[in-house]
Structure 1
């Protein structure tokens, strides 16, 4: 069995004063990393601040013989994000690992969410990934090595009533991490997303009002938790998180679920679908209606890493469906819209 070590590495873990972040920081330090323990010290709803939580984790790390420093800057501002990364640079001269974990909940019905509830959640989950991630990325690029891990959520990937703001922020981690993985591939930087599941203090913000939604209530009431008893501690998420930021891990551009000791990749894929007949005439709405079952069927599928990979997948399907007159034909150059630098907007349908 390969021993996973973080000797010589410097890690920044945001939201490391409690729960998941605390376990990440403790285990990173136990395995040799020097750790910046960042935590504003706010409540589960994001109110208040205190240095106590971060300092206690640092004390635990040092008591066990590890190296750590506390940082209490807010991840939700550019100045705070820069200060967090600068703490690592000032103390140890480098940053190799960023685990973007800080966050809180402010639940409400979609139609009742206020600007404050939306903005505060996007600030701490989405904008913080930029505010801390950008200076961390620059420092990693300069050294030619880096591991970035962003915290997503099953609430975003699969859906959770009364969490539209939270799901929007967490869902954005997928797009952000994918782009960092692509750009970072030129500089030795990898990026992934983890979907952790754990009982934590955030549960106190989970008011059961969402049970007013019949379909959601049915899902909750019929759920089988038999494999989860005693396995929802934050520590069950730590092994996957640490592997993804280790030197041993070569995976990037991925999303991984950790739930009750089951660890699995979560995929975003494009089904084979239905291909409109040959020619430049678009199909009608009725054509789509007639073939919608085929469009929605997840049979054979592709997993494009970029929008341009999807064009290749589309051409492969067109050949398979006999739509291309010449099966070996390839376009000599990209369509004009791609040459104009607007490629990503084309496959996304924006």
Structure 2
């Protein structure tokens, strides 16, 4: 297999001052990409601001002979994002890769969480990712080329105590990816999601010290580099951690169909084992696939035939 390279490509990586973002930015630069290192330089909970981290990564890239610029906008600030995009276009005239990695944590149980903290985390992770992708979108359409990655988390895909805000924002990445995959296909824009597990500044207290090297960000970035490569897939949720890579998929069971007087909550309860039986479960290609499945099942239960 030929080496994956990014010569001539321009990449924006948000949250690239530390941790996963830094690893992604360095990996892209090492393989030829020009990189915008975006980082507001805040603490884990989104407070404070400094350009030191992003400037340090830019210096690392330049030291290896690469090209990079720093930008310190808050991704949840649309005006700031637009300024970053304009600066990138002024510098290099194109944007090929958009890696949405920026994030914060404001963990508390839902009962104790202020809604302001819920909104803030959603603003940075979800709205911030949408802001950056939206600003890059017309450029990628014009180029007839683009690679976009959103960063999800097992907290969103599977749940994690005390992270209602973070989990909700991270689960939303799947929905955003699914739609943009469809809308970008005709313009050669491929959209994927990375769900990483790494020991970073945001997660270091959750892991024993010996896990730090095993679950380092650098063990994840190879997956990210593939997801933004020339031959990348699209609409893939890639789980990654410690050099392990897997695909997360959403399946729907065959289920049952209730009609007439049988369509009651009591019947749903009585047949719940059938509803949840995984035999012959399948992936849905899109929202309409589910609609079609239900319509055909309803017609069959009524002895009707739909020409579909």
Name the TM tier (shorter chain).
Answer: over 0.9
1:324 Cα deviation after fit: 6.0
**For residues 106 and 155 of structure 1, do their structure 2 counterparts lie closer, same or farther at Cα, with a shift above 3 Å needed?**
same
* TM-score normalised by structure 1 residue count: 0.83
Partner residue, 1:121: 121
Q: Pick one of 295, 301, 304 that aligns with 1:323.
A: 301
Partner residue, 2:81: 81
Structure 2: how far apart are the matches of 1:162 and 1:284?
36
CA deviation string 1:277-302 (max 9, x = no partner) = 5xx66711111011101111222112
Q: Secondary structure at the match of 1:193?
A: strand
Over the aligned positions, Cα root-mean-square deviation in angstroms equals 2.1
Long gaps (5+) in structure 1: 207-219, 332-350
1:316 Cα deviation after fit: 6.3
Structure 2: how far apart are the matches of 1:116 and 1:273?
39
CA deviation string 1:73-131 (max 9, x = no partner) = 11111111212222221110010100000011111011111122112101110110121
Summarize the alignment of residues 279-294 of structure 1 with structure 2, pairs less than 5 Å apart. Answer: 283-294=263-274
Contact 1:44/1:204 (<8 A) preserved? no
* TM-score normalised by structure 2 residue count: 0.93
Partner residue, 1:16: 16
CA deviation string 1:42-78 (max 9, x = no partner) = 1112111111101110010011011111111111111
Long gaps (5+) in structure 2: none
Paired residue total: 307
Q: Secondary structure at the match of 2:187?
A: coil
**For residues 2 and 316 of structure 1, do their structure 2 counterparts lie closer, same or farther at Cα, with a shift above 3 Å needed?**
farther
**For residues 302 and 41 of structure 1, do their structure 2 counterparts lie closer, same or farther at Cα, with a shift above 3 Å needed?**
same
Partner residue, 1:273: 255
1:323 Cα deviation after fit: 2.8
Q: Secondary structure at the match of 1:22?
A: helix
Contact 1:302/1:313 (<8 A) preserved? no
Contact 1:14/1:102 (<8 A) preserved? yes
Contact 1:149/1:244 (<8 A) preserved? yes
Determine whether 1:243 maps to 2:243: no
Contact 2:46/2:104 (<8 A) preserved? yes
